């Protein structure tokens, strides 16, 4: 009977709506067409019944079309994790600093020495610049002339310069490093999107005060620069371990 056929087709259409499988979607549209066809074949039913069947067939056809459109939407998309360019780092090789400075240390052969040309630069301030890595280690030096007040001021200024990064830093770790020559150095490691990731200062407590700070001349995020940061940090520790005052 037409009534039984329509009921069975309607159940098939309902199952298709729930599953949303691609082949079910196409089947659902076909079912809707069949429902419409069955309704138009209803024959000489009563006027009210014929009206209901026509209404039912129209709704079924519209539902089939809507379901077919929804099934043709793009599949779920899962974005790939963000990646970074691979950085091939050279082996560590060192050379001795020259130039008549009141101090000497070993620095990387991947770096070049440049005089600090800033307006506030003092004699013997310099930059250990890595052209390939766009990294720069700023070296500042002061002869404290056995002046305790000047010595204390230099230490205070060094800590203030490190503290300026607290706004962006997620952590600032300080530790004391004892060099082979017996000097002590305060070393600061800064985490987060900070412009300077590694700093130190050291002194012989009487005449010499030297500070170093790592900066990158690039806008690249620090997490992608992590291998380069570690590479230059190793070189900076080498500077400290080979530092000698004249």
Residues 58 and 102 grouped into a single domain: no
CA–CA gap between residue 51 and residue 112 (Å, rounded): 91
Beta strands in the chain, from DSSP E residues, in sequence order:
94-96, 103-104, 106-108, 112-115, 126-130, 135-143, 169-178, 184-192, 198-203, 208-216, 244-245
Residues 55 and 132 grouped into a single domain: no
185 within a domain of the structure (yes/no): yes
Residues 55 and 100 grouped into a single domain: no
How many domains does one find in the chain? 2
Residues 99 and 49 grouped into a single domain: no
pLDDT on residue 210? 95
Residue 234, domain extent = 94-245
Residues 124 and 201 grouped into a single domain: yes
Q: What is the pLDDT of residues 155-210, one digit of tens each?
A: 888 888 787 777 777 888 889 999 998 899 999 988 888 878 899 999 887 899 99
Mean pLDDT for the chain overall:
75
76 within a domain of the structure (yes/no): no
Strand pairing of 244-245 and 169-178? unpaired
pLDDT of residue 12 exceeding 50, the answer is yes
Residues 222 and 153 grouped into a single domain: yes
Q: What is the pTM of this model?
A: 0.63
145 within a domain of the structure (yes/no): yes
Q: What is the pLDDT of residues 65-124, one digit of tens each?
A: 554 555 544 455 555 555 555 678 999 999 999 889 999 999 999 999 999 999 889 999
CA–CA gap between residue 120 and residue 138 (Å, rounded): 13
Number of residues written out for the chain: 246
pLDDT of residue 128 exceeding 70, the answer is yes
85 within a domain of the structure (yes/no): no
81 within a domain of the structure (yes/no): no
Residues 67 and 145 grouped into a single domain: no
CATH code assigned at 212: 3.40.1000
Residues 55 and 99 grouped into a single domain: no
- Give the CA count within 13 Å in the CB-facing half-sphere of 211: 18
pLDDT on residue 79? 55
């Amino acid at each position: 009977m037409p009534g039984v056929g329509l009921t069975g087709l309607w159940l098939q259409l309902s199952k298709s709506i729930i599953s949303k499988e691609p082949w079910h979607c196409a089947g659902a549209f076909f079912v809707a067409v069949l429902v419409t066809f069955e309704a138009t074949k209803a024959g000489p039913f009563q006027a009210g019944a014929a009206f209901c069947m026509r209404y039912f067939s129209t709704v079924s056809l519209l539902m089939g079309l809507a379901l077919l459109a929804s099934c043709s939407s793009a599949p779920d998309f899962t974005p790939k994790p963000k990646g970074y360019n691979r950085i091939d780092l050279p082996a560590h090789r060192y050379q001795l600093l020259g130039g008549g400075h009141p101090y000497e240390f070993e620095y990387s052969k991947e770096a070049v020495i440049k005089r600090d040309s800033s307006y506030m630069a003092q004699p013997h301030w310099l930059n250990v610049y890595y052209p390939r890595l766009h990294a720069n280690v700023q070296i500042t030096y002061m002869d404290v002339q056995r002046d305790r007040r000047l010595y204390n001021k230099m230490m205070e200024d060094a800590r203030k310069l490190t503290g300026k990064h607290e706004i962006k830093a997620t952590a600032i770790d300080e530790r004391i490093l004892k060099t082979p020559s017996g000097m002590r150095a305060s070393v600061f490691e800064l985490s987060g999107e900070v412009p300077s990731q590694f700093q130190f200062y050291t002194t012989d407590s009487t005449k010499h005060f030297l500070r170093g700070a790592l900066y990158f001349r690039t806008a690249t995020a620090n997490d992608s620069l992590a291998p380069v940061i570690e590479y230059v940090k190793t070189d900076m520790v080498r500077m400290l371990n080979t530092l000698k005052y004249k």
